[in-house]
Chains A and B, each alone.
Chain A
């Protein structure tokens, strides 16, 4: 009788889950075994994914196609990846490791440019405009909506201003040598601490909720595996 694959995967899942949960008693070999296996499997899987889903379809296969077909019109486009690959591989030899800087410089430069442009066009401008436009058209709305929008907008505005004020660390030096921020900035910073605290609390709640959900999922898988073994419906 063949063993169902679900049973094997369930058993392995059960085993590694217990190994990971053994961290409750501290760092132990069981936990380390699970971690090492996870790292090893993840690395192998990533390497396989990179080869089969990046190098092969995007470099080797087109190159082979060009060679087979003899159509070298797009060969220049493949020359750049090959050149970058060669430079990166030169890191193996310390003598020629400097050549990899060309490729790395290109990647970092392009990545920085993309990130900067994406941040400006995708985060900063939209967020600023969203904050400004929050009150747009509210004056023409009914009073109750106006109050709601004003309150919500006011809280958002207050939270934004006070949170930014909290991260303003400029201060003047007094004659006695002590330093203290401007009073208004200090007040806003104090209010901003509340908003920042609430934000961090919400993030922590979300992290806790995510972790709790994962924990529940794992425990549920164990229960299901046990029920499957036991034949409990």
Chain B
């Protein structure tokens, strides 16, 4: 079973090969790179996609370059073939034609400024390998094929005019030369006096360096051009002759701080500077300022003018680190008469280390560094030429800065094998103290410090004060690239050489041994720790790697671009891979960005503090704090609501079938009786004898109507009631027409009343021979309901001016002499509705006067009209078939006999109704008594 790792966020177990947690997708702790952790080989091919574009482009370019040059041996010598270092791609790319993507200064550092033609010439000798791997012994250190044209000008100026030293990039060459000298010298020392006076100028010199040199050269030349030691330096010469208004060359790749330095130097060019009097010859290709330094170092031996002791007026805008350097150099002038290019304490640490080491060893070495000048560059051969007195400040500073390397075993070889420094040159050192120590030690250019470096001599503090100054401040003023470059030198150390050096110095002074240049506690300060911890991994790797004398085999293009060989430091830069602490802190925020530049990254925008709940939310109880009384009331309310919402059981009729049967039985009986009596014309039942009071009053009124008097007949019943209404009204009208011959005027208060009235007069009373428009008049429908009746009661002629035949009604004989309602002899209301009767009574109450109203009504409306008769508002009532039968028998001699024809059926029907009602009552009573008895039994 595979090894399992635990997720730092969720604690889930994941296979060791997983980089993110399978559960929470958070990066696993093991997958991240810890500070100080040794990088290990990892298969980072799957992470190839997340590499920055510029890295991928560089790798692609490197791959192409490697493939194209795979056949040549030059390709094998390419230093960029480190499978572990992603800068290998840069290295390879630097060798290509495409130099635009890499700044010149960076290319120079990494040794990528080689032209392709030179690569082919020197496939094996490559300083870049040495730089990357940090193993000096792995590479041939004495490659003589280096060409000067490849060396940057500024480094070329530092180098001796040894052929082949400038074949590689400036750093490479410089370091390689250092190694050469180390090998050649038994006592390694950093001889600053070995000024590279004859380094050929390179066409590939970075522009910004050129510009710096040009700017720096302008300053001294303007004041002391005749004393310029760098007389051979063309750019110094030009600078000295040129006015500040000379058009500067502004390289785009120049860092700002260097631009600022150059600007400072140009602003201080008005000040006289004796350091400008560099006089040693330098190749035309050599950067002027370096040439100037070299020439000056040579001239300083001969002349030592007091006025040149402060050749560089410190500018107000001079960078601090340069000021500090000048101050250190000034202080050193007082104590040290030699070491014209004394590396001050303001110089970068690695410079101090170099100088200190050389200073320490210098006492045991003979100052005859010129003997080695044929093998080593002049500028390197001049290193170490610092006397014991001069080395004192170096020892302190170097011992304080070189602790990491300073176990004697770890002492970089290139430092331990510094070339011998020339003898002390007190006079010259006083003049060029402001220059860096590694430049001060150049014996040939003791006083030839560029103006931009020596401009701060006047204001530089004393050496004693500088000793007390913390190294952090010094280092803090240094540019980052110098800081980074300082530990780089450690990778060039060769322990073997160190031991050799130690062995080669048997006569080393005990005092110096007691205070080695690189002591173990040299980096005891925090700044040194930071320096080491901030060291790139590839440099750490180079340090930790066991040194072997085996030359690394050339890196092929495939190896160089292996996708799984992502450097650890690049891997550590990946935002997705956080350390466990950060991962745990951002565990709650693992949101993956979906858009923008951070697309695809997870948890890169962590939430602020307090965003995520830090503790479990407090639980609040939902229980109400109700008293017993409140609970009781709530229960009562609940019961009330339950009672309201509870469905009430409705007892259904169990006797539905019986009702249908009963309905059929009743219907059958009525049909049979009606049919039988009608068909048989039976007269079984006698008509009523007694005359109701309302009927009697109606007959009395009817008999009181004058002869041929106008009578208003209002018809308001439905067609379904026509049989009853005609049966009730026919005897009444027959008697009236027979006796009084009234002029009848019919009016209907509903739509069908007019046609029913016409039907009544033409069929029922056909025997009386009444004719429309002569003896009767049908006014038709009176619209408007109560309003119509009210209107008719007030203005009859205006409400219905025409009859049903559309003739002027009020001009016809039936209505002659009638203009108002009270002019009628009587009002006979034939209706089956109590409402209709009430309306006519009400609306004509105050209009009709003494005109009597006789109501011939249906049996169903009579009970409702009876009160109006009792109140005197209605003169008489003829109610239904019962009233018609009485009239027919009592007052009309049995004519027309309609009531009689219906009477038997009506009597039987009423009898059946009585029977059924009574029988139904009895049945209901019996059922009720049974239910009550049953309920009593249940209760008992």
Contact = CB atoms under 8 A, between A and B. Distances in A.
Interface stretch (A41-49, A85-93, A185-193): A41-49
Given A129-B871, A210-B858, A217 B727 contact: yes
A121 B871 contact: no
A232 to B, nearest CB: 8
A115 B863 CA distance: 22
Given A57-B806, A203-B863, A216 B783 contact: no
A51 B240 CA distance: 127
Interface residues of B, number: 63
Interface stretch (B4-12, B333-341, B899-907): B899-907
Interface stretch (A97-105, A142-150, A168-176, A219-227): A219-227
B867 A130 contact: yes
A119 interface: yes
B248 interface: no
Interface string A66-109: 00000000000000000000000000000000000000000100
Interface string B719-742: 011111001000000000000000
A122 to B, nearest CB: 3
B751 A46 contact: yes
B885 to A, nearest CB: 10
Given A209-B910, A219-B905, A114 B724 contact: no
Contact of B675 (A123, A209, A219): A219
A40 interface: no
B478 interface: no
**Chain B: interface secondary structure?**
helix
A202 interface: yes
B851 to A, nearest CB: 14
A219 B751 contact: no
B283 to A, nearest CB: 104
A219 B674 contact: yes
Nearest to A42: B752
Contacts of B858: 206, 210
Which interface residue of B671, B751, B909 has the most chain A CB atoms within 10 A?
Answer: B751
A119 B806 CA distance: 33
Contacts of A227: 679
B843 A118 contact: yes
Interface string A20-45: 00001000000000000000001001
B590 to A, nearest CB: 61
Given A122-B873, A218-B723, A207 B860 contact: yes
A213 B677 CA distance: 13
A227 B872 CA distance: 46
B871 A203 contact: no
Contacts of A127: 867, 871
B700 to A, nearest CB: 19
Nearest to B884: A213
Interface string A111-146: 100110011011100110110000000000000000
Contacts of B721: 210, 214
Which interface residue of B783, B842, B843 has the most chain A CB atoms within 10 A?
Answer: B842
A227 B679 CA distance: 8
B593 interface: no
Contacts of B901: 220
B802 A57 contact: yes
Which interface residue of A52, A213, A223 has the most chain B CB atoms within 10 A?
Answer: A213
Contacts of B752: 42, 45-46
Interface of B: 663-664, 667, 670-671, 674-675, 678-679, 720-724, 727, 751-752, 754-755, 780-781, 783, 785-787, 790, 801-802, 804, 806, 832, 838-839, 841-846, 858-864, 867-868, 870-873, 879-882, 901-902, 905-906, 909-910, 913
26 contacts: A46-B751, A49-B781, A50-B751, A53-B781, A57-B806, A118-B842, A118-B845, A123-B868, A126-B871, A126-B873, A127-B871, A203-B863, A206-B861, A207-B860, A208-B913, A210-B832, A210-B859, A212-B913, A213-B902, A214-B724, A215-B670, A216-B678, A219-B674, A220-B905, A223-B675, A223-B679
Q: Which 6 A-B pairs have the closest CB atoms?
A: A217-B723, A122-B842, A130-B871, A118-B842, A209-B859, A213-B724
